[in-house]
Chain A
Amino acid sequence: MLSRVADSLYWMSRYLERAEHTTRMLDVNLNLMLDESSTSSERRWQRVLQALGKPKRVKWDDNPYELTRTLTFDTGVKASVLSCIIAARENSRHVREQISTEQWHRLNSLYLEVTRPELQTSMQMQAQFESDETPAAFLQQVMEAVHQFQGVTDSTMSHGEGWQFIQVGRSLERASATAMLLEAYQEDLWAEPGGVDGNEYLEWMGLLRSATAFEAYCKVYTADLTPERILEFLLLDPEFPHSLRFSIDAMQQALSAIDRSGGGGSRTEPLSRLAGRVYASLAYTSVDEILDQGVVPYLRRIQTQCSEIHNTIYQLYIDYSIQSALTGSSN
């Protein structure tokens, strides 16, 4: 497979995952904001920004609707949902022949939907008048479209190397996003150890919902929310698709499938070592050990490892030096 094609598929997938995550963060927090809470509006939305990696050129301006509009529609902001969808579609356009027609149609109609001019005007109105009507329906639509795209990808595209790069992109993006989300919530999660008043309960629900984890959590632990269990679930659960362990596991599997299709060899060892190490730190540990070492350093280490993996993928598959490739090539 051409390196350029792998690159485009990888980023198409990352951008879509990012769009979905941002959309969900906005949706969850717009919804929570309606309930009475001791968490100040500023605190809440600063936390959202932190969980999204403190996007450039976005500031809290005391208007949640204005912030939502910016994070949704402002194409001057690279992290906005619209920017992500445009970038994903642009990447897919460059590999139009490598993806299925169904995938292209799904992504292209999402793009056409979110770039409709009327949509932006209506969002602007809402921001201006702090209208009660939240853009929930719209946000829902984006999330559904991304889910559909994933379904169509799985059922219409050959599960070859290209598909594996899509999996790597999605899992890596999701793992970093979950790690950042947990870090942003870290302080609030432990704010009042001991009793749970209604307020904390709401915030914890918000955290779980931001990772679509509320229902799945309840199935495992019942609706009895505790910080240790939330942390354990979002970090270490082996079966829940948004947990860090699950994402890293999926990424590792996709990477080894890519490795096999390229004939394996010692070339890719550094990458499997990196992926194996981060997986081990999630699979062979307990939440108590993590709490003992400190949660924030642990989360930071995982984020660093994720970006090392990204860089190594580039060095191995996409942007490798010509000299190293020539010594390796026998053709």
Chain B
Amino acid sequence: MDNFSPEIPASQFDPSALRNYQLDEAFDEMFAGASAFRPHYQPLLDHFAGLPPQEIQRRKQAADLSFLNQGITFTVYGREEGTERIFPYDLLPRIITRDGWSTVERGLTQRITALNLFLKDIYTDGRILADGIVPRELVYSCPQFRRHMIGLQVPRNVYIAICGTDLIRLENGDFVVLEDNLRVPSGVSYMLTNRRVMKRIFPQLFRHYNVRPIEQYTQMLLGTLRSLSPEGRPEPNIVLLSPGVFNSAYFEHAYLARQMGIELVEGRDLMVHDNVCYMRNTSGLSRVDVIYRRVDDDFIDPLSFRPDSCLGVAGLFNCYRAGNVTLANAFGTGVADDKALYAFVPDIIRYYLSEEPILKNVETYLCMRDKEREYVLANLDKLVVKAVGESGGYGMLIGPQSTAKERELFADKIKANPRNYIAQPTISFSRAPCLIGDTLEPRHVDLRPYVLYGDKVTIVPGGLTRVALKQGSLVVNSSQGGGSKDTWVLSE
């Protein structure tokens, strides 16, 4: 690939700030080719051009300080006593046009509708399995498949109430789905706080752009949870169940609970008696109706799932089964975000909705299929291989950046347990300008919009844009040196 520097279009913008801006074959969010800005980035650049470098640095420091003071930190595992760190933040917003967003919105609505129908189907009639669209063994061999859920009536048939879908843009600029997060997706608090900081730091620029608001997210989340309340509980008591202060996303749990005005509880605050869930207050017990849970299935009920869990509530599943409490998301949704099942999502959409998928998938090879596995093993240096059960950027092999030794190791793992691995071509997903030192440089970004599904589907415009801040890196996870930036969806 040939890297080339863009020619700077005429404006008062100081070209030296772009001296390190290298374009390659990846889609660039700001440049439409070597010599043209995309028009929606022009005001942003003009505004930056009007600011002296010291002023930009001052504002960057103000933003950093604001995060630190708000205690917006996450915990890095594997270090002594849970080291708290700030989530790195980039000052330049990522801008999405109205048309671009409308496709994403329709595509996500379609996808969450189909995935909910799929979950209902596999836990009740199993039509899609009988029709051979999705292989039976793939569903039943998934560790996230919960046989406990079979035949259960779920409120409003909503299994996935909250989802965070990871999107990337291909070389041609199309958004495609990289991953569905259907269990306990996190990061929404960063989306909200990024916006708050941005509005404080660049009020003028923000007003100029007509950005669609996202602050209503917590009200919408509360509305979604309320709409899923068990029958006969018109004034539901809603709580957020957190694994506790040592969890990496504890800040987010506390933030959301506070913003919604609901109680933040841990497993030990709840108890189940006669299939009714209560929380333990100083004034006695009070009944709990809806639980927005941020604890994984495995740990949430030692009677039904992992018996060694101390984070859960004994008997919660039976209480759920009796219809006395709603959990969002439901149990067993993880089967639909299994990385191998992902390959079937386009077919799932066609099967239930008789529509073509609006958002495409990334091409995926299933190592459980002999032919595809052979291809994967022969092309390990070109592909990205992922373990189906892992997330957070762990358990992957990025072919082009790997050593021969690593590839050998991974080949053995694939042969030992083919069901557990999938592979995708290495995609150079889109890049957006970031402030690195005092220059602008492109970095790879993804987008995680948050989809809510209660009595209707709601998606706040935008989402969390994660940035791989290391030059050339394709890993955006916060645990692996990623950062984030505000995402602006334009209303015109």
Binding site for B on A (CB under 8 A): 1-4, 6, 93-94, 96-97, 101, 161, 165, 258, 261-263, 267, 317-318, 320, 322, 325-326, 328-329, 331
Chain A minimum-CB-distance residue to B274: A326
Which A-chain residue is minimally distant from B263 (CB atoms)? A2
Whether B258 and A325, one on each chain, are in contact in the complex, defined by CB atoms closer than 8 angstroms, is no
Q: Is the CB of B268 within 8 A of A4?
A: yes
Interface centre among A2, A258, A261, A263 (most CB of B within 10 A): A2
Using A258-B282, A263-B283, A329-B285 as known contacts, say yes or no to A2 and B269 having CB atoms under 8 A apart.
Answer: yes
**Across-interface contacts of A97 in B (CB, < 8 A):** 254, 257-258, 264
Name the distance in Å between B376's Cβ and chain A's nearest Cβ.
46
A325-B254 contact given A4-B268, A93-B245, CB 8 Å threshold: no
Contact B271 A322 (CB under 8 A): yes
Could you give, for residues 280-298 of chain B, a 1 whenever the CB lies within 8 Å of some chain A CB and a 0 otherwise?
1111111100000000000
A81 to chain B, nearest CB (A): 20
Contact A3 B269 (CB under 8 A): yes
Min C-beta distance of B370 to chain A, whole Å? 52
- Please judge, given known A-B contacts A3-B281, A329-B285, whether A96 and B269 are in contact too, CB under 8 Å: no
A276–B230 alpha-carbon span in the complex (Å):
45
Please tell me if the beta carbons of A325 and B279 are within 8 angstroms of each other in the complex.
no
Distance (whole angstroms) from the CB of B400 to the closest CB of chain A: 43
Looking at the assembled complex, report how far the CB atom of A108 sits from the nearest CB atom of chain B, in whole angstroms.
Answer: 10
- Give the size range of B's interface with the partner: 20 to 34
Residues of A within 8 A of B278 (CB): 329
If over half of B's interface residues share one DSSP class (helix, strand or loop), that class is named, otherwise mixed; here it is: strand
A261 to B269, CA, bound (A): 20
Structural contact, B258 and A322, CB atoms closer than 8 A: no
With known contacts A2-B265, A2-B279, A93-B245, A328–B284 Cβ distance under 8 A: yes
- Chain B interface (Cβ within 8 Å of chain A)? 71, 244-245, 254, 257-258, 263-266, 268-269, 271, 273, 278-287
Name, among B245, B263, B271, B282, the residue most crowded by chain A CB atoms within 10 Å (CB to CB).
B282
Asked whether, in the complex, the Cβ of A318 is within 8 Å of the Cβ of B282, the reply is: yes
Among B71, B245, B285, B287, the one with the most A-chain Cβ atoms within 10 Å of its Cβ is B285
List the A side residues contacting B281 at CB < 8 Å.
1-3
Distance in angstroms between the alpha carbons of A325 and B285 in the assembled complex: 6
For the complex, give the distance between the alpha carbons of A6 and B257 in Å: 18
- Asked whether, in the complex, the Cβ of B280 is within 8 Å of the Cβ of A3, the reply is yes
Whether the pair A4, B269 counts as a contact (CB closer than 8 A) is yes
> Closest approach, in angstroms, between the C-beta of A265 and any C-beta of chain B?
9
Q: Which residues of B contact A263 (CB under 8 A)?
A: 283
Are the C-beta atoms of B285 and A322 separated by less than 8 Å? yes
Pairs of residues from A and B, 3 with the lowest C-beta to C-beta distance, nearest first: A262-B283, A317-B282, A3-B280
List 5 additional A-B contacts (Cβ < 8 Å) besides A1-B283, A93-B245.
A94-B245, A96-B245, A97-B264, A165-B282, A322-B273
Residue on B with the closest CB to A317? B282
Task: Report how far A326 CA is from B287 CA in the complex, Å.
Answer: 11
List residues of chain B with CB within 8 A of the CB of A320.
Answer: 280, 284
A-B pairs with beta carbons under 8 Å apart, 7 shown: A1-B283, A3-B280, A4-B266, A4-B268, A165-B282, A262-B284, A322-B285
Chain B residues near A3 (CB-CB < 8 A): 269, 280-282
Provide the bound-state CA to CA distance between A97 and B286, in Å: 21
| A329/B284 in contact, CB under 8 A | yes
Q: Is the CB of B282 within 8 A of A161?
A: yes
Residues of B within 8 A of A326 (CB): 273, 285
Complex-state Cα separation, A317 to B283, whole angstroms: 7
Complex-state Cα separation, A93 to B271, whole angstroms = 23
- Assuming the contacts A322-B271, A326-B273, asked whether A6 and B254 have C-beta atoms less than 8 A apart, the reply is no
User: Which residues on the A side are within 8 Å of B254 (C-beta)?
Assistant: 96-97
Residues of B contacting A165 with CB < 8 Å?
282
Q: How far is the CB of B279 from chain A (nearest CB, A)?
A: 7
In the bound complex, CA of A329 to CA of B280 (Å): 11
Closest-CB distance, A19 to chain B (whole angstroms) = 20
Closest to B280 in A: A3
Measured between beta carbons, the chain B residues less than 8 angstroms from A258 are: 282
Measured CA separation A1–B285 after assembly (Å): 10
How distant is the Cα of A94 from the Cα of B269 in the complex, in angstroms?
A: 13
Smallest Cβ-Cβ distance to B279: which chain A residue: A2
Of A93, A101, A325, which is within 8 A of B284 by CB?
Answer: A325
Complex alpha-carbon distance, A212 and B281, angstroms: 37
Could you tell me the distance between the alpha carbons of A161 and B273 in the complex, rounded to whole angstroms?
27
A residues near B279, Cβ cutoff 8 Å: 2
Contacts of A331 in B (CB 8 A): 285-287
For A161, the closest partner residue in chain B by CB is B282
Across the interface, which residues of A come within 8 angstroms of B257, CB to CB?
97
Q: Which residue of chain A has the shortest Cβ distance to B266 in the bound complex? A: A4
A263 to B282, CA, bound (A): 11
- Which residue on A lies nearest to B244, using beta carbons? A94
A310 to chain B, nearest CB (A): 15
**Cα separation A101 to B70 with both chains bound (whole Å):** 9
Residues in A whose Cβ lies below 8 Å from that of B286: 329, 331
**Nearest CB in chain A to that of B251: its residue:** A96
How far, in whole Å, are A331 and B282 apart by their CA atoms in the complex?
15
User: In this complex, what residue of B is CB-closest to A97?
Assistant: B254
A55 to B280 CA separation, bound complex (whole angstroms)? 33
